[in-house]
Amino acid sequence: MAPTTPHLLGVDRLDALASRYVDVDSLPWKPTPSEGIDMKVLVEDKETGLLTALFRWQPGSHLALHEHVEIEQSFVLEGSLEDAEGKVTAGDFVWRPAGNRHEAWSTEGCLLIAFFLKPNRFLEGELAGTLLE
């Protein structure tokens, strides 16, 4: 399977090697299994696990303990995101190496763009044992 952008209009008329211009505002927000966290998928490859997405965290939302199977990168556009190691705020970037384990939360809410090579592996809560972005 090739990388795709769900809900991208006109993609059926594009060459295999054509650039994909994404009108991000037209993409739907999709709920994640974690309450208060929604996402817009910008590009994904379900076969490899590659994912680039916008994540919108509501104030007080929490992501259960998980492991990054491969490197994860996040750039915060608005608000802030925290974990036991620190806090990343609007305009700042954090990346985590493969094997990093943490839980995360957003007291004030945030909007961030994240890049994954493989889905996260959840270690606690109702998602334990699953691989999800």
* pLDDT at site 130: 47
Residue 53: closest CA among 131, 120, 114, 116:
114
Quote the CA–CA distance of 57 and 103 in Å, as a whole number. 14
Quote the CA–CA distance of 131 and 120 in Å, as a whole number. 5
119 contacts 51 by C-beta, under 8 angstroms: yes
* pLDDT at site 110: 98
* Token pair recorded at residue 106: 């957003």
Over the chain (133 residues), what is each successive 10-residue block's mean pLDDT? 76 81 93 94 93 97 92 97 97 95 96 91 60 49
Euclidean distance between the first and final Cα of the chain, in Å?
A: 18
Domains in the chain with CATH codes: 28-125 (2.60.120.10)
